[in-house]
Amino acid sequence: MGIMRKAAVAAGMLGLMARVGAAQASPAPATQPAPSIETVYKQLGMLAYPAKGQSSEQQRTDETECYAWAKGQTGFDPLTTTVDPAAAAAAAQQQTADATQGATVAGAAKGTAAGALIGAAAGDAGKGAAIGAASGAVVGRSRKKKAEKQAAAQGANAAANASNQQVDTFKKAVGACLTGRGYTLGK
């Protein structure tokens, strides 16, 4: 009884120490301020040169107004919009998993039929059916996993392409606005 009690106390102490250590090791997440419009322009690779002698203050005003105009025209805001290709991939993979839910069973059924035929020719239809069912299930599951993997990759690519198109459209809108206000855009 004494050993059991000591073991329980030791386990409790280890658990407490682990929790205290984890609390000390992981500081509270710091909130990061939203990036400025100037930062977003830099991230998008958009450089505007004041070709008509605009002041720095005027350029900031124009960039802010053009940003708002482009956001309204495109319905896209790089400051707030985030695209998660991993989430799109997971959604596509789940959709494919749902669509191919019976693939293992169907493969097993086909394998059973084929195995029974081969087994009947060899003299033992039951053994042939069992072997065919097992191999058919393996093949069906393999095909299902392959389809899920392909769907995940296609979903991630589609999300990335859609995001790139939105960014390109936004950049064209901002560029048109800034050009109209007398700025030369760098590449």
pLDDT of residue 180: 95
- % of the chain exceeding 70 in pLDDT: 47
Mean pLDDT to the nearest integer, 38-50: 87
- Estimate to the nearest angstrom the gap between the alpha carbon of 18 and the chain centroid: 32
pLDDT of residue 55: 95
pLDDT band at 29 (very low <50, low <70, confident <90, very high): low
Give the up-direction half-sphere exposure of residue 39: CA atoms within 13 A in the CB hemisphere.
6
**Number of neighbours of residue 27 by Cβ within 10 angstroms:** 7
pLDDT in tens, 101-138: 665 566 656 655 565 556 566 666 666 666 666 666 66
- The phi-psi region of residue 57 (left if phi > 0; otherwise alpha if psi is between -120 and 50; otherwise beta) is alpha
**Number of neighbours of residue 98 by Cβ within 10 angstroms:** 8
Mean pLDDT to the nearest integer, 6-27: 45
Domain ranges of the chain: 2-101+157-186
- Estimate to the nearest angstrom the gap between the alpha carbon of 48 and the chain centroid: 33
Average per-residue pLDDT in the chain?
Answer: 72
Q: Read off the tokens for 182.
A: 């007398």
What is the spatial distance between Cα 101 and Cα 33, in angstroms, rounded to a whole number? Answer: 44
pLDDT of residue 106: 62
Q: Are 69 and 177 in contact (CB under 8 A)?
A: yes
49: nearest Cα among 154, 182, 171, 172: 182
